[in-house]
């Protein structure tokens, strides 16, 4: 009897692309609508990282482009004549193509749009960057169909604990169940696990963090190795105040087993700061 074919992992690509790095995001509040926005260049980075250079491993195709009239903004009357300034929207319809395992694929088409002619409180304006913004908008919408920054669109960024949890190094994605199984009589004691753990990758945007931001990050650190790495890095950047040191000490008591390498290093560093 022939062996059954292994079922395809339909979420493999999605899980590889879905986690968004905090330093490439920013919060916005526009016309009462709040949310998290990502840098268009970050979307390009993720696509290039997975598929290769733009034009070779992936690309964007404009299927349709037009300027659509919108609402009336102003009416200028001169005698029997009236000149109307009307809002104009730049609209793009397009799709992504990409190469995966030697095969070419395409996403479903999406739309991107930007106000080209609009009105501020100071008067009517024209946005010369509108076409570029529309294309970036369309690319982002196509990319999320593959999983790029999907965690934002799923609403996970509304959870501060998720946002501040360090993301694993390397490719993003969920761990398989097999990775969570213990083997035989393997030592799974807290001391053994802490001693073997490697620090998670620290956020890239930390170079501009102040003490409060480091304290917020420390509060979400999952293990002693990452806490020690964060402490060393913060001290190098001049973060040595009492509030930060107390936060590290408190977290160390929660995530470190005493007499382990991470614990000893953290205690040594904090002691040196106190004496200095």
Is this prediction's pTM over 0.75? no
Q: How far is CA 60 from CA 43, 55, 66, in A?
A: 12, 8, 17
**Residues 271 and 248 sit within 8 Å (Cβ to Cβ):** no
Which residue ranges form the domains of the chain, and what is each CATH number? 12-164 (3.30.390.80), 190-275 (no CATH)
**Residues 151 and 20 sit within 8 Å (Cβ to Cβ):** yes
pLDDT tens, residue by residue, 49-73: 999 999 999 999 999 999 999 888 8
- CA dist 209 and 207 (Å) reads 6
3-state DSSP percent of the chain in helix, strand and coil, to 5: 40, 25, 30
pLDDT tens, residue by residue, 135-187: 999 999 999 999 999 988 887 766 555 555 555 544 444 333 333 333 344 44
Alpha helices in the chain (DSSP H): 12-17, 40-51, 130-144, 150-153, 160-164, 190-196, 211-219, 224-236, 242-255, 261-275
Rounded to the nearest 5°, which phi and psi values hold at 92? -125, 135
């Amino acid at each position: 009897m022939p062996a059954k074919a292994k079922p395809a992992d339909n979420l493999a690509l999605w899980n590889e692309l879905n986690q968004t790095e905090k330093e490439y995001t920013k919060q916005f509040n526009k016309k009462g609508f709040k949310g998290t926005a990502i840098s268009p260049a970050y979307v390009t980075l993720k696509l290039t990282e997975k598929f290769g250079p733009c034009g070779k491993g992936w690309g964007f195709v404009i299927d349709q482009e037009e300027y659509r009239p919108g609402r009336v903004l102003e009416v200028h009357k001169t005698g029997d004549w009236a000149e109307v300034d009307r809002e104009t929207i730049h609209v793009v319809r397009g799709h992504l193509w990409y190469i995966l395992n030697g095969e070419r694929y395409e996403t479903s088409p999406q739309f991107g749009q930007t106000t080209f002619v609009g009105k501020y409180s100071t008067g009517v304006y024209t946005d010369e960057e509108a076409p570029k913004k529309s294309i970036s908008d369309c690319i982002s919408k196509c990319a999320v169909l593959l999983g790029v920054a999907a965690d934002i669109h799923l609403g996970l960024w509304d959870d501060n604990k998720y946002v501040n949890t360090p993301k694993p190094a390397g490719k993003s994605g969920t761990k398989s169940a097999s990775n969570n199984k213990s083997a035989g009589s393997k030592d799974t004691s807290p001391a053994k696990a802490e001693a073997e753990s490697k620090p998670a990758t620290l956020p890239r945007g930390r170079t501009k963090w102040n003490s409060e931001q480091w304290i917020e990050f420390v509060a979400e650190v999952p293990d002693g190795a990452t806490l020690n790495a964060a402490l060393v890095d913060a001290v190098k950047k001049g973060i040595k105040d009492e509030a930060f040191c107390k936060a590290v000490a408190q977290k160390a008591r929660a995530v470190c087993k005493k007499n382990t390498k991470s614990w000893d290093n953290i205690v040594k560093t904090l002691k040196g700061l106190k004496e200095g």
